[in-house]
Structure 1
């Protein structure tokens, strides 16, 4: 049956396209809303892109410095100030709202003369330098930065004002977000044969404001996020019986892509192995799939970490020495409480350099709902074993953050490297688990709930953007108009252009809700028509033809 002959399928595709567009446009809104370099490690990420764009190579970890252009850009962006919504104002630090925006004509241009820092002699320690002077990103593989450098050259912005370059790179990361809702919807349809659950899954990231904020900044986590989505989707295919060598090769390549970006992708290896172990089919074909996937992962990106181990004696070298003040550990319970709280809060909505904190009730409620629905999906949902396999990825990442943070805490009393974005490789799994949990809870009623979920997702995304606008730009006693003028003053876009971006996003959000309503009606009509057409034959053959689960509406 063609899509034209199936109104429910056509309505589903329209709704999915609009939800995906909304996810992407929300990322664009974050890209233009967040003040320059007000995202975790963004100056260093941009600096590493510029170094590769201008042929500066990839120095050993700890031996890369921030270039003069980035030093100038940070000063012109007033990065040493505190934004008004910061959870705790620092004594002696000026307010961001008290600094007049740097005029466009006064913003520096990046050129070959100022992009690169003077090279550090090999083996030279940078421990005595200020942390802001060191670019620690060379502790990671260079794939993300090489691709981003290529984007600057392709767009003709390798030599441009720093704020224009920043926006181009942010939009590149937003483009990497675009496949995530599509892959999430595809995974859910593979596991549950449910269009309604697929649409719910596609909207998942809209309920997590931190996703739009991070994916609308310059960070190698953007490439880790999309590679994690690819790995999870392909693992869902394997766990449900796709044992073709081509799928194994693609799965291994996706793991390798992640490994050539950041070590977080290593936590996907157990997921791949579990998918093949639990997949239906001959043992020999499953074993061959593991070997093919493993070989592809090693060839594409695993070799980097093997090289580190053989040459440097460690999996990941330290890019910048820690400079925390020594303290006494306060016990295991304190460690667990602080790490779990920080990880959960920064997954859902610690904006900026984690200084804009969403209220505790918001992120704890969201965490409980997601955890409960994912648990329900594993216990009562369709394809329970496959769902459990996918959820191994965020679970492994979560445990990995705790384990990685413990040695420094036990030895020095301080907690570091605890950020929710480290879980973003597991976004597809969490979206899938949440949607399948709702599917198990509501059954065929989920079809009618899709418009409400889409609307709630849009409202949540808008609330996150509003929270960011207030926290970044609106000082005490100032009006919304004052904050909007400040935003326009700092942005490389004009005020009318910012209004256009916001207006298009609102229109697409409204269209996504309307499309979801039409999907629900089309799915109901399709089910009613199918029931009517089979009613008479069913009565005649009721005694000999029982109803089976396979006959359920695919849009349920």
Structure 2
């Protein structure tokens, strides 16, 4: 590596971009008020249940334990944050509630972690939905690993806000490999380091990724699994037909299936990767069979068991929460679902109540779609890019199809969350980077540091928007909001300043490193061109100048 300054510069820039992605996640972990992320109380409750030996009840038969109930009250979760898209005068304001003092925050222990068991077969539909922990409709893998994290860090018995921060940081760790895998996939497809750095920065352009991946959610493990599956599929479609690759690919799909059903939407991509890979048909067929067998052995059996025992692939784990309404037609359904899905993919913070402006998420969606389309039409690895993009396409269609039955029967539109597409982040990052590669060609090298800077600025804007929307009440100053943030946080004000300062320094360093990479890559290319030209010039000098044809051929 020392013989290639461009490679040194590339790795340094990639490391700093990855560090920036990680630190932005840490910022979101300490910025988001307690339990102000989708279903976070229930996710934490399921972790505590396994941490304290409470098992995995049937869907709809798990209740929220006393510790989480108390924590929700102490976190003022029944209030509305100031940036909420729709003001509700009848709901108390979050900014009007004094932060609960650290000494007054409850500690989780064996006495309060578990809810009283519900007799099997009990109908919980009459209960308040907030009292039910619907997460047992999913497999338990994520929660078992997270419970192990609490025990490993010595925080299984700790204040609830400390536990929450530990679990949030665990999810940030699951995000760390995503930019590295995305860069590796692009290098596999194009050998373009510039495009790889652009791809690595993709998640910074999606503030919702930082928000969700720093909350407590099983989507964190699904997102990592989707990135690994997509990377291995990129290897397969470019000719890696080894049995160990197939077995590893199948095992990762199985891990995803032991986390959430979303992993099943990767199967079309895996099948297409083997179908379109170059190599003997027999080896491709064996690869598909090995991958399929491994995925079923690791996690696919869970869903077959559901179908055989429960009569459904995924049972419903929460009581009905909506009043029946009259469906307003297909166009209304499509318009509402597509808008909600797009907004909550790019920026819908909190419990989806803190919305970024429409112009922001629609512009972002059009740019990503256009660049991905350009990558498939004119990019350097069109077939492989199309294969990878099957994953986010399948997830997108799956959300629409899943939402339709409730809407057509009861007028409800539910389970429409942009985070369900996060398993396809590697594919979208790859498609965006390769589309930009097709658009700019060699000029992409000099644009890398601009892209890194824009990514950092977008991430900072998302954090600033969250800070305003969560903490700054009407007529208040930023200092008032900062004091409120410090009051609610398990960290001190000085610690929060340190986290933000380190993030800014790393962001600046990432931009500088990207610029240095561009310069090193240009110098390296110039040196290679000069080296290649020397033999040609020497041959031309030894050839008689009267031989015009020979001179031209040299």
- What residue number does 1:486 align with? 484
Deviation sequence 1:257-305 (CA, Å, 0-9, x none): 1000000000001110000000000000000000110011001110100
Aligned pairs (5 A) from 1:265-344: 265-344=263-342
Instruction: After the TM superposition, list the runs of 4 or more consecutive aligned residues in structure 1 that deviate by more than 4 angstroms.
Output: 539-547
- What residue number does 1:143 align with? 141
Separation in structure 2 between the aligned mates of residue 140 and residue 389 of structure 1, nearest angstrom: 28
Give the C-alpha shift of residue 89 in structure 1. Answer: 1.5
Give the C-alpha shift of residue 234 in structure 1. Answer: 0.2
- What residue number does 1:552 align with? none
Q: 1:546 to 1:35 in 2, by over 3 A?
A: farther
2:416 to 418, 441, 444: 418
Do structure 1's residue 126 and structure 2's residue 124 form an aligned pair? yes
Asked if 1 retains the 8 angstrom alpha-carbon contact of 2:198 and 2:452, the reply is yes
Structure 1 gaps, min length 5: 548-556
Deviation sequence 1:104-142 (CA, Å, 0-9, x none): 000000000000000000000101110110000000000
Give the C-alpha shift of residue 417 in structure 1. Answer: 0.3
Asked if 1 retains the 8 angstrom alpha-carbon contact of 2:22 and 2:176, the reply is yes
Give the C-alpha shift of residue 546 in structure 1. Answer: 12
Separation in structure 2 between the aligned mates of residue 165 and residue 151 of structure 1, nearest angstrom: 10
Separation in structure 2 between the aligned mates of residue 267 and residue 329 of structure 1, nearest angstrom: 28
- What residue number does 2:235 align with? 237
Give the C-alpha shift of residue 381 in structure 1. Answer: 0.5
Separation in structure 1 between the aligned mates of residue 203 and residue 329 of structure 2, nearest angstrom: 35
2:258 to 254, 260, 263: 260
Separation in structure 1 between the aligned mates of residue 388 and residue 4 of structure 2, nearest angstrom: 31
CA RMSD, Structure 1 to Structure 2 (Å): 1.3
Aligned pairs (5 A) from 1:138-217: 138-217=136-215
Give the C-alpha shift of residue 536 in structure 1. Answer: 3.0
Separation in structure 1 between the aligned mates of residue 304 and residue 552 of structure 2, nearest angstrom: 57
Give the C-alpha shift of residue 539 in structure 1. Answer: 5.0
Q: 1:541 to 1:132 in 2, by over 3 A?
A: farther
* 2:351 aligned counterpart, secondary structure: coil
TM-score w.r.t. structure 1 length? 0.97
Do structure 1's residue 352 and structure 2's residue 350 form an aligned pair? yes
1:63 to 52, 61, 76: 61
Give the C-alpha shift of residue 382 in structure 1. Answer: 1.2
Structure 2 gaps, min length 5: 541-548
Q: 1:537 to 1:340 in 2, by over 3 A?
A: same
2:8 to 4, 7, 10: 10
- What residue number does 1:551 align with? none
Q: 1:544 to 1:51 in 2, by over 3 A?
A: farther
Deviation sequence 1:224-256 (CA, Å, 0-9, x none): 000000000000000000000010011001100
- What residue number does 1:531 align with? 529
Separation in structure 2 between the aligned mates of residue 99 and residue 472 of structure 1, nearest angstrom: 13
Deviation sequence 1:449-485 (CA, Å, 0-9, x none): 0000000000000000000000000000000000000
Asked if 1 retains the 8 angstrom alpha-carbon contact of 2:126 and 2:319, the reply is no
2:462 to 460, 464, 471: 464
Separation in structure 1 between the aligned mates of residue 538 and residue 389 of structure 2, nearest angstrom: 45
Separation in structure 1 between the aligned mates of residue 228 and residue 93 of structure 2, nearest angstrom: 42
TM-score w.r.t. structure 2 length? 0.97
Separation in structure 2 between the aligned mates of residue 406 and residue 226 of structure 1, nearest angstrom: 28
Q: 1:113 to 1:477 in 2, by over 3 A?
A: same
Give the count of matched residue pairs: 545
- What residue number does 2:430 align with? 432
1:109 to 84, 107, 119: 107
Deviation sequence 1:43-73 (CA, Å, 0-9, x none): 0000000000000000000000000000000
Give the C-alpha shift of residue 540 in structure 1. Answer: 6.4
Give the C-alpha shift of residue 414 in structure 1. Answer: 1.4
Asked if 1 retains the 8 angstrom alpha-carbon contact of 2:389 and 2:427, the reply is yes
Aligned pairs (5 A) from 1:448-463: 448-463=446-461
Give the C-alpha shift of residue 35 in structure 1. Answer: 0.0
Separation in structure 1 between the aligned mates of residue 361 and residue 438 of structure 2, nearest angstrom: 24
Separation in structure 2 between the aligned mates of residue 270 and residue 91 of structure 1, nearest angstrom: 48
Higher mean displacement: 85-94 or 200-209: 85-94
Separation in structure 2 between the aligned mates of residue 215 and residue 536 of structure 1, nearest angstrom: 52
1:364 to 362, 365, 369: 362
Asked if 1 retains the 8 angstrom alpha-carbon contact of 2:13 and 2:517, the reply is yes
Asked if 1 retains the 8 angstrom alpha-carbon contact of 2:250 and 2:292, the reply is yes
Deviation sequence 1:333-390 (CA, Å, 0-9, x none): 0000000000000000000000000000000000000000000000101111110000
2:375 to 374, 377, 381: 377
Give the C-alpha shift of residue 534 in structure 1. Answer: 1.2
- What residue number does 2:546 align with? none
Give the C-alpha shift of residue 323 in structure 1. Answer: 2.3
Separation in structure 2 between the aligned mates of residue 494 and residue 91 of structure 1, nearest angstrom: 32
Separation in structure 2 between the aligned mates of residue 546 and residue 107 of structure 1, nearest angstrom: 82
Separation in structure 1 between the aligned mates of residue 539 and residue 215 of structure 2, nearest angstrom: 61
* 1:352 aligned counterpart, secondary structure: helix
